[in-house]
Every structure is written in C-alpha cells, then in structure tokens.
Amino acid sequence: MPRPRVVITGIGALNAVGNGIVDFTEGLRAGRPGGAPITQFDASDSPVRIACEVKDFDVTTVLDRKSARRTDRFAHFAVAAAREAVEMARLDIAAEPDRIGTSIGSGIGGLNTLYDAHQHLFSRGIDRFSPFWVPALIPNMGAAFVSIELGTRGPLVASCTACAASSMAVGDAVMYIRNGMADVMLAGGAEAAVTPMGVGGFHGMRAMSTNNDDPAGASRPFDRDRDGLVIGEGGAVLVLEELTHALARGVPILGEVTGYGLSSDAAHVTEPDPTGSNPARAIRMALGDAGRSPAEVDYVNAHGTSTPVGDASETRVLKLVFGEEEARQTPVSSTKSMTGHMLGAAGATEAVIAVITINEGFLPPTINLHHPDPDCDLDYVPNVARAARPDVVISNGFGFGGHNACLVIERFRP
C-alpha cells in the first residue's frame, strides 16, 4: 500500500524582510535586507547594535490584549503566521479539530519573558512573580498557544533543537500525517531572541557580526569578509495536509513535502562536524525518503548563517552529497543574508521560501556576496534573484549540539 502523500495548502510568515507572504515574497525577489539598528532595547553600549527585527507588527491584529500581555513575543509570531497559513488554506478547523494537529519549534522560547523576570527578581525580589511567567517562558508555548487560539485538538508537539527546531517540526508533522495520527498539521517555528540576553549570549560565543556601521550588509553568507551571524526574529507556519483530504476540500496545492532526513554530528556543542559526513547523511536520507537522486535537485536553500566556520563547512557538505562538479552546477542560496538568523524559526521560514520559489518562479539571492571566499566556490545566486522554475528543492537546518535536518519540498504532481 503506498504511503500517504503530504501536501502544502497554506503558508504564513513574518520576519525582517516582510510581514505576510505577499510582502515577504516581494522582499525576497527584490533582495531586501532586513538588517537595521536594534530598536527593542538600548544597544548603544553593546558591541552588537544590529539585528533583523520584525517591523510594524501589531499583536492586537492576531490576539486580544489580555492574551498578548500573558504570552511572549515568540508566541505572538507563531499565532500570526498560523492564522495567515490557515486562511490561505481555507481550513475550517472547527469542522474537524480532533484531526488537525500543531507542531511548532523554537530554539529558545520566551527570552523576552526571561529577561523581564530577571529584572523583576533583582528589583523586587523573589516574591510576587506573575503566575503567567513560566507559561510564557517555556518553548512549547508557541505550539500550545496556536492550538489554544485556533482550536486544534490533534497531536500537539514542540521541537526544541536549536536552529534545526522548525525544520524538525515540519518533518515530524509529515510523519504524523503519514502514520495516520492526523489529516492536517500546522507546522512551523517562531523565535524572538533580540534581547540583551540573546545578543549578549551569542556575542559571548563570538558568533555575531559586529559590522554595526553597515546593518543591511552585515549578514553576508559565503563572503570572504563575513564575520558572524545577524540575529533575526519572526515566525513561519505551513499547513500540511494528507493529499486525499486536500483534494476532497478542493483547495489549491502549493507543493509537497516528499523527504525528511535527520542525523547527529556527535562532535561538539557548537561547531559543525569537521568531516561534513553527518550533515551529508541527513541530506542523503531526505533524498532517499523522497526517492530522488542529488542530480534531480534544482535548488538548495542553505543553512548559510554567515559564520566563517559554518558556511565553509556547508559547502563541503554539499560537495560530499552532489560531487564536486554537480555541486557547482546546483544553485544554492542563503536567505539568512536577508532575514538574518532566525534561530529556531529559520527552518520553517526557509521551507516557506522553498514553496515560494516553486510557485513564483524565481530563486532568492544571497545578498551582500561581493568578495567570494575561495573555500565557498558554489553558485550562491549572488545579489540578484534569478528566474527559474525549480521542481525539487532541499532546505537544510543545522543546530547547536549537532542536530542536522533536511527537507525535500517539490512541485506538486497530481
């Protein structure tokens, strides 16, 4: 018996490049940089004063004021993206709530809440903490709040695997549908780590760009002069649906998730596997799950964080999977050059980008790529979007601790 096919019927996203799919698509096509001076706190004394913040977001458009006050910013982003995706999919959740689940990943969770509580602790003491502090902080609350607000009662799960979290949230959701546990899953990720703790922590690891004089050009994956990531925030959700269920509803199908692969580096808490063999294994697993060969891949949305070690490592990984010559002929881009590194929300955002590329007929660029690194010698679609009609796209998500995930997303074939 053939396994169930899992198709995509809705997408939603908000990030530094655009609020909503229409704006986001226009920004990707234009190569719009999301980097700008930090506005969420006074960063004037910080060695890092830039980030890719969501702009002009009004939480009251997706949540009532009481609910918004009791939840963290990352959960606000999850609900906003989910509402957009559900609306696009024309999904009536109330008609079958028990068969619709939610899978939302976050690498850190309520970091704004944690910072505020830390300030409270030292200014007012341990007494009189808000009863909503812990529920707002914990990373599963993006998923939980989507379920509460939208009324899904199927599987409710939350992955917390660093920067691979929402890639895994999407891939795991595919497996729940394949296994018959749900007919529909709202799958994605959300993150809001532009806080003094978030910026200070990543700077302490020497992972962040300090190119404060050029916020728009600071995220520059694969460039010789890259000096670290630019932290980003936002959310992205896909409506995943078993094919016959989607056909019965008569809704447009935007694409299909055909492959999912996972592996562990088992090497280091932050640095990638120096051999590249374990991330490569996750990609090969995803392609095998999809029944595809590397030669059939039309475009790779790279993890591409703009860190000196990470970008060179991913280039080696792709050469292991595709072979030297084939790798150079396969377009690869890092959209983190525009969105910044959205941490746990990155994978779902880039899965949404894969859907956009398939439906809109272009490959998003790697902007700010002006001085190619000799160790990064692939076709990174530099600076300008490229007209194309990709049929098979892979999206990589690699996280601290050695989490490797890969998704294969394809043009839907009836």
Which pLDDT band, with edges at 50, 70 and 90, does 310 fall under? very high
Residue 132: pLDDT band (50, 70, 90) is confident
pLDDT digit string, tens, across residues 363-388 = 999 999 999 999 999 999 999 999 99
Residue 39: CB atoms within 10 A of its CB come to: 11
- pLDDT of the residue at 131: 79
pLDDT higher than 80, residue 394? yes
On whether the CB atoms of residues 174 and 413 are closer than 8 A, the answer is no
Average pLDDT of the residues in 327-350: 98
Percent of residues, the chain, with pLDDT higher than 90: 89
**Span between the terminal Cα atoms of the chain, in Å:** 18
Q: What's the whole-number average pLDDT of the chain? A: 95
Q: Which residues are designated catalytic?
A: 163, 303, 341
- Given this model, what pLDDT does residue 72 score? 95
Interval 173-197: pLDDT, tens: 999 999 999 999 999 999 999 999 9
Average pLDDT over residues 57-66: 93
Helix (H, G, I), strand (E, B) or coil at 346: helix
Return the pLDDT at 110: 92
Segments making up each domain of the chain, as ranges: 6-249, 260-410
CATH homologous superfamily for the domain 6-249: Thiolase/Chalcone synthase (3.40.47.10)
Q: Looking at residue 61, what is its pLDDT?
A: 93
Whether the pLDDT of residue 208 is over 90: the answer is: yes
Pair 183, 98: CB distance under 8 Å: no
Q: What would the mean pLDDT of 357-361 be, rounded to a whole number? A: 98
6-249 and 260-410 have identical folds: yes
pLDDT per position as a tens digit, 74-127: 999 999 999 999 999 999 999 999 999 999 999 999 998 888 877 777 777 777
Q: How far apart are CA 243 and CA 7, in angstroms?
A: 6
DSSP, collapsed to helix, strand or coil, labels residue 295 as helix
According to CATH, the topology of domain 260-410 is Peroxisomal Thiolase; Chain A, domain 1 (3.40.47)
State both tokens at 20: 């909503």
Tokens of 325: 């010559």
Average pLDDT over residues 204-220: 96
Measured at the CA of 361, the angle between CA 260 and CA 262, to 5 degrees, comes to: 10
- Kindly list the distances between the CA atom of residue 183 and the CA atoms of 91, 147, 260, 408, in Å, as whole numbers in the listed order: 12, 15, 18, 20
CB 104 within 8 A of CB 149: no
Question: What is the Cα–Cα distance from 142 to 74, expressed in whole angstroms?
Answer: 7
Predicted local distance difference test score (pLDDT) of residue 109: 95
